[in-house]
Amino acid sequence: MRSAPSGFSTKERILGVAETLFARHGFAGASLRQVTAAAKVNLAAVNYHFGSKESLIEEVFRRRLDELNRHRLAALATVAARPDHTLEDVLDAFIRPALEQSMDSAGGTAFVRVLARAFAEHDERLRKFLSDNYGHVLREFAAAFARLLPQLDKQELYWRLDIVAGALTYAMADFGMIKRKGDVSERSHREQTIQHLIRFSAAGLRS
């Protein structure tokens, strides 16, 4: 195991760069030659370490998705432990980890765009992968929401959570027309997004 120039292993550097470039140009649009050049790694390294471009894409997903799931479930557990927790608390546990992942030092906003893209690709293979790795988390949150919104039947609750997920996905990818002003830090802009999403979603869920 030779240590890589920047202190990260070849494999890690490929994953990081791939995440960025897939987010920027799409899975088909970003070539392995671009990835390996940006990572200062030999072209053959991808096939050596991951087997294929396809597998590399899956690895990019798995790495971040596992992290997001961990954070969301931990936040939900903390919130649910408090007997007086509110709808806003559960929304926070759902929304905050997703938006905060987009400002961690390493990945930047790259991964959440990759995630949004995966939805857009509408590829059944990827959707199945996401639902397999994601389904139980959504179900846990749905149960927590159901306890706080007993007046909603299951069907109605799922409709509304779908809308929350949509607004969150959109915000995660930073699609919106709201542009961060120069004098507002990234952290504070993100916090504003979180607060707006929570308030809006709580009103919609309760209506």
Binding interface with DNA (CB under 7 A): 1-4, 9-10, 30-34, 41-49, 52-54
Q: Which one of its own copies, DNA, none is in contact with 165 (Cβ closer than 5 to 8 A by kind)?
A: its own copies
CB of 136 to DNA, least distance (A): 30
Q: Which one of DNA, its own copies, none is in contact with 149 (Cβ closer than 5 to 8 A by kind)?
A: none
When binding is defined by CB under 8 A, the residue of 5, 43, 166, 188 that contacts its own copies is 166
Q: Which one of DNA, its own copies, none is in contact with 1 (Cβ closer than 5 to 8 A by kind)?
A: DNA
Q: Should residue 129 be labelled a site residue for its own copies when binding is judged by CB under 8 A?
A: no
Q: What is the 3-state secondary structure (H, E, C) of the chain?
A: CCCCCCCCCHHHHHHHHHHHHHHHHCCCCCCHHHHHHHCCCCCHHHHHHHCCHHHHHHHHHHHHHHHHHHHHHHHHHHHHHCCCCCHHHHHHHHHHHHHHHCCCCCCCCHHHHHHHHHHHHCCHHHHHHHHHHHHHHHHHHHHHHHHHCCCCCHHHHHHHHHHHHHHHHHHHCCCCCCCCCCCCCHHHHHHHHHHHHHHHHHHHHHC
Footprint of its own copies on 77-116 (CB under 8 A) = 113, 116
Q: Which stretch binds its own copies (CB under 8 A): 2-10, 44-52, 90-98, 196-204?
A: 196-204
Structure tokens at 159: 């409709």
Q: 């890690």: which residue's tokens?
A: 12
Q: Should residue 51 be labelled a site residue for its own copies when binding is judged by CB under 8 A?
A: no
When binding is defined by CB under 8 A, the residue of 73, 137, 138, 146 that contacts its own copies is 138
Interface residues toward its own copies, by CB under 8 A: 23-29, 113, 116-117, 119-122, 138, 158-160, 162-171, 173, 175-178, 192, 196-197, 199-207
